[in-house]
């Protein structure tokens, strides 16, 4: 919690001053941003490698690194001012498991157990890039809003083409948040970037999974 509070101070201060967070978001920083991201920590395997696409102000990547020191988190951010802020935060909070990479997701070369994304792009656009960074059997966790089901339906062709083996919708943090966090989980098949040779298993699950926050 001391690290989480310090991160909240950095977001409300330098993060707001540099335009990474709107001033109107400061009063609802914990519920809408920190806890909203923190509930993802319970659905990520132990000692996993995580890539946070378009990390921005570090949501959810920095939050996950705080909540789960066992994770190795790569914050992928193409804009210099944001990447600079992320590096400063990681240094200030002494998050040794965090690496900041300034690059577009399309240009990054890496393979991860989990790929996260929050408010980056529609799922249909995100699918190929995110799955391309995910190891076979790994998961993409895309934080979405009330249109999650519609986005998933619209993205089916792209997900199939990118080699998705399974898709589900999970709602996390019902015991902590006034509005639970909605996550679209996409499991990478054995053949990324194309149709999986394994039988495609698709299910839409409005999960009741609960999670603990930061």
Residue-level pLDDT at 191: 62
Q: Is the pLDDT at 195 greater than 60, yes or no?
A: no
Q: Using a CB cutoff of 8 Å and minimum separation of 24, what contacts does 75-78 make?
A: 75/99, 75/100, 75/101, 76/51, 76/52, 76/101, 76/103, 76/105, 76/108, 77/101, 77/102, 78/54, 78/102, 78/103, 78/104
- Bond before 19 cis per omega within 30 degrees: no
CA distance 100 to 103: 9
Choose between 159 and 1: higher pLDDT. 159
Q: What is the pLDDT of residues 17-62, one digit of tens each?
A: 998 888 888 888 888 889 999 999 999 999 999 999 999 999 999 9
């Amino acid at each position: 919690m001391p690290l989480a509070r310090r991160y909240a101070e950095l977001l409300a201060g330098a993060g707001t001053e540099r335009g990474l967070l709107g001033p109107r978001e400061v009063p609802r920083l914990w519920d809408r941003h920190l806890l909203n991201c923190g509930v993802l920590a319970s659905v990520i395997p132990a000692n996993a490698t995580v890539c946070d696409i378009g990390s921005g102000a570090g949501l959810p990547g920095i939050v996950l690194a705080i909540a789960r020191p066992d994770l190795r988190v790569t914050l992928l951010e193409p804009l210099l001012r944001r990447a600079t802020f992320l590096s400063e935060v990681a240094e200030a909070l002494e998050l040794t498991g965090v690496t900041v990479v300034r690059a577009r997701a399309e240009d990054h070369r890496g393979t991860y157990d989990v790929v996260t994304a929050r408010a980056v792009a529609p799922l249909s656009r995100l699918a190929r890039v995110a799955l391309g960074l995910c190891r076979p059997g790994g998961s993409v966790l895309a934080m979405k809003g009330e249109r999650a089901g519609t986005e998933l339906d619209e993205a089916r062709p792209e997900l199939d083409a990118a080699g998705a083996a399974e898709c589900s919708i999970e709602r996390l943090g019902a015991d902590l948040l006034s509005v639970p966090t909605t996550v679209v989980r996409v499991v990478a098949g054995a053949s990324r970037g194309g149709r999986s040779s394994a039988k495609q298993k698709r299910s839409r699950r409005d999960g009741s999974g609960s999670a603990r926050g930061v």
